[in-house]
């Protein structure tokens, strides 16, 4: 009898202990990330951002419902990330909402409200068990903080050469950065100052309107004419020089140089040639004009040289060409236009990691020169299948006759965009004349011959920042819109946005972009073929194991307590 009571007591103790342990585990936020790619670990900068949130912030996730497995993984990854945020800071709260729930009137009204704030749905085509269905999904997170609200698109744009699984995997890898970065921008006290320079034939406001409209949500952005100033204020966090077409004087160069020397950051979108695709058909033996911006010597001292060439790439977008005339109407076909390369970003830097494809127009090559105390990173290159034409080159549509022959594109990867960080030497070191020195002293800013620490980014194509503008209806296109293919290359906007964010990032929020979640794909054919077998195993195996355990327990108990 005593042995029986002891057994019951021990069983109760075990049950109570298990329940208490389970309760403690459920309430605990501690976790150990044992994954190889550390997918469940937050970067230190993201933790700093979340911990600094001092007011309630609500994140409404619209991506929920009955989805295919890939989208379910994105939903689960988002939930897991937000749970980590909430564990770090109780001011962070989140909910998952399905916009498709409710009556028809409620759903339509909700869809219209989402459309007004820029949350456009994605048409998801679901193929399951041989049946195809369509469903509208909203892969967005709406973040509310104070009186402001921001939208985060959780789904990365899918490139033409990319499978859905790869796109979803990259989307998961970017979740921490996208949501963490937006929280950082909404909660920081001061907006960074971004200035576009004008006065030397730079891109007009109509061609940078798309970028300026987007940036003004999180930045104080403006335009500044060179002739109206004697120096650039240290309060300017970032200066953008977008496609100057007129020469900079020595005075202009000194203003720019001393801005950099005093810790200023610059994005140089400077082109080598004024190449125009519309002139190729109308001008015989068309040779693009070399742009005399007078910045080459300045760039040389900073460690960058523009090579006198135009790059061609086998990986490129297409343009229409007339191939025949029928009924008095020209018949066109799309041909590869090698001067407009399609680029993929480097995975070695947060600006370009997990970047969508970019499309450039008539880029030239950059050469990196070794400079002390300056670290340089190549951001964009052509594909390995490239070639170049040295100036003066004649441009003609006859180039399409080269055909897509890899043997003719054998010059390897060529550099198109670079980032340099460090202590640059002034272009005017040992060159400053007495008048220039006197002017600086009168302004109360003595000549600085070495920078305090700056970031400079160079690229040879201003198409990365420009949008098309239609004066007849005052409409602008998105950045990266290809008017011939009628598609938008999202990588163009992503690149310039990431570059701007990086240049003014004080706490290194962008390190989260370097997260690389490894893709582990299922064999879909095998899944379909063996679906029933694995369902039966999952259902029956636990019951069999439980039955075996009960049988063994009964036999052992009988043997122990049998008289």
Q: pLDDT value at position 541?
A: 80
- Cβ neighbours of residue 528 closer than 8 Å, sequence gap 6 or more: none
Query: Looking at residue 249, what DSSP letter applies?
Result: P
Q: Of 347, 345, 341, which Cα lies nearest the Cα of 312?
A: 341
State how far the Cα of 60 lies from the Cα of 456, in Å rounded to an integer: 37
**Entry field: residues in the chain:** 563
Q: Which of 296, 277, 222 is nearest to 460 (CA)?
A: 296
Helices (H) and strands (E) counted in the chain, each on its own, are 13, 26
How does pLDDT run along the chain (563 residues), one tens digit per residue? Answer: 555 666 566 667 777 776 777 666 555 545 555 455 455 678 898 999 999 999 999 999 998 877 777 788 888 999 999 999 999 999 999 999 988 888 888 888 888 888 888 888 887 766 655 566 677 788 899 999 988 888 999 988 877 777 777 888 888 889 999 999 999 999 988 899 999 999 999 999 999 999 999 999 899 999 999 999 999 999 999 999 999 999 999 999 999 999 999 999 999 999 999 998 888 878 888 999 999 999 999 999 999 999 999 999 999 999 988 777 777 788 888 999 999 999 988 888 999 998 999 999 999 999 999 999 999 999 999 999 999 999 999 998 888 766 777 888 999 999 999 999 999 999 999 899 888 888 888 888 889 999 989 999 999 999 999 999 998 888 999 999 999 999 999 999 999 999 999 999 888 888 887 766 555 545 555 655 677 777 788 888 888 887 787 778 777 777 776 65
Residue 520: predicted pLDDT: 52
Contact residues for 95 (Cβ-Cβ < 8 A; gap 6+): 58, 59, 60, 61
Q: For residue range 481-535, what is the model confidence (pLDDT) as tens digits?
A: 999 999 999 999 999 999 999 999 888 888 887 766 555 545 555 655 677 777 7
pTM of the model: 0.82
Burial of 459 (0-12, 13-18, 19+ CB in 10 A): buried
Amino acid 554: pLDDT = 77
Q: How many CB atoms lie within 10 A of CB 151?
A: 16
Measuring CA to CA, which residue among 37, 114, 111, 117 is closest to residue 77? 37
CB of 83 within 8 A of CB of 136?
Answer: no
At residue 515, the pLDDT reads 66
Of 496, 521, 20, 454, nearest in space to 237 by CA: 454
Q: What is the largest CA-CA distance in the chain?
A: 113
DSSP string, 416-440: EEEEEEE-PBPTTTTT--HHHHHHH
User: Would you say 531 and 523 are in contact if contact means Cβ atoms under 8 Å apart?
Assistant: no
d(CA 499, CA 434): 37
pLDDT at site 247:
96
Helix axes 250-261, 434-442, angle to 10 degrees: 50
Q: Mutual orientation of helices 531-561 and 2-27 as an angle, nearest 10°?
A: 140
User: Between β-strands 415-422 and 57-61, what pairing exists: parallel, antiparallel or unpaired?
Assistant: unpaired
Specify the pairing of strand 289-290 against strand 273-274: antiparallel
151 φ/ψ angles, rounded to the nearest 5 degrees: -115, 135
């Amino acid at each position: 009898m005593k042995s029986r009571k002891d057994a019951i007591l021990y069983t109760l103790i075990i049950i109570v202990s298990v329940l208490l342990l389970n309760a403690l585990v459920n309430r605990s936020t501690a976790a150990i990330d044992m994954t190889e790619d550390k997918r469940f670990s937050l970067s230190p900068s993201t933790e700093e951002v979340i911990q600094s949130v001092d007011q309630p912030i609500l994140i409404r996730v619209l991506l929920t419902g009955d989805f295919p497995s890939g989208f379910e993984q994105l939903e689960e990854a988002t939930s897991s990330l937000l749970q980590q945020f909430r564990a770090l800071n109780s001011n962070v709260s989140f909910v998952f909402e399905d916009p498709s729930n409710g009556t028809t009137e409620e759903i339509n009204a909700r869809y219209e409200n989402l459309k007004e704030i820029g949350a456009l749905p994605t048409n998801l085509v679901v193929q399951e068990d041989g049946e195809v269905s369509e469903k509208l999904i909203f892969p967005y997170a709406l973040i509310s903080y104070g009186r402001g609200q921001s939208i985060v698109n959780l789904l990365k744009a899918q490139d033409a050469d990319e499978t859905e699984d790869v796109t979803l995997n990259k989307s998961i890898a970017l979740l921490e950065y996208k949501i963490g970065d937006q929280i950082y921008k909404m909660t920081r006290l001061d907006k960074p100052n971004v200035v576009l320079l004008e006065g030397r034939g730079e891109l007009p406001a109509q061609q940078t309107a798309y970028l300026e409209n987007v940036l003004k949500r999180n930045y104080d952005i403006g335009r500044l004419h060179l002739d109206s100033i004697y120096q650039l204020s240290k309060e300017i966090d970032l200066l953008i020089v977008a496609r100057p077409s007129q020469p900079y004087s020595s005075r202009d160069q000194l203003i720019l140089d001393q801005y950099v020397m005093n810790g200023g950051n610059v994005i140089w979108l400077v082109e080598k040639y004024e190449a125009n695709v519309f002139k190729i058909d109308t001008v015989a033996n068309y040779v693009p004009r070399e742009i005399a911006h007078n910045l080459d010597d300045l760039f040389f001292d900073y460690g960058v040289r523009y090579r006198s060439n135009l790059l061609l790439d086998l990986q490129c977008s297409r343009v229409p060409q007339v191939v025949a005339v029928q009924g008095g109407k020209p018949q066109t076909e799309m041909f590869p236009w090698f001067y407009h390369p399609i680029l993929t970003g480097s995975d070695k830097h947060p600006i370009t990691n997990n970047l969508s494809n970019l499309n450039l127009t008539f880029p030239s090559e950059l050469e990196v020169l070794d400079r002390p105390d300056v670290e340089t990173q190549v951001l964009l290159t052509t594909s390995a299948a490239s070639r170049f034409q040295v100036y003066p080159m004649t441009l003609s549509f006859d180039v399409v006759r080269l055909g897509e022959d890899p043997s003719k594109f054998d010059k390897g990867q060529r550099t198109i965009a670079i980032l340099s960080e460090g202590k640059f030497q002034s272009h005017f070191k040992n060159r400053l004349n007495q008048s220039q020195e006197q002017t600086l002293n009168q302004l109360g800013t003595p000549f600085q011959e070495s920078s305090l620490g700056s970031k400079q980014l160079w690229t040879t194509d201003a198409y990365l920042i420009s949008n098309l503008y239609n004066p007849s209806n005052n409409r602008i296109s998105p950045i990266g819109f290809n008017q011939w293919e009628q598609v938008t290359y999202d990588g163009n906007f992503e690149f310039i946005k990431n570059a701007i964010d990086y240049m003014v990032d004080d706490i290194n929020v962008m390190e989260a972009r370097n997260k690389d979640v490894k893709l582990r794909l299922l064999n879909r054919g095998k899944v379909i073929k063996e679906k029933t077998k694995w369902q039966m195993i999952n259902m029956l195996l636990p019951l069999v194991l439980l039955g075996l355990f009960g049988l063994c327990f009964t036999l052992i108990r009988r043997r122990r307590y049998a008289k």
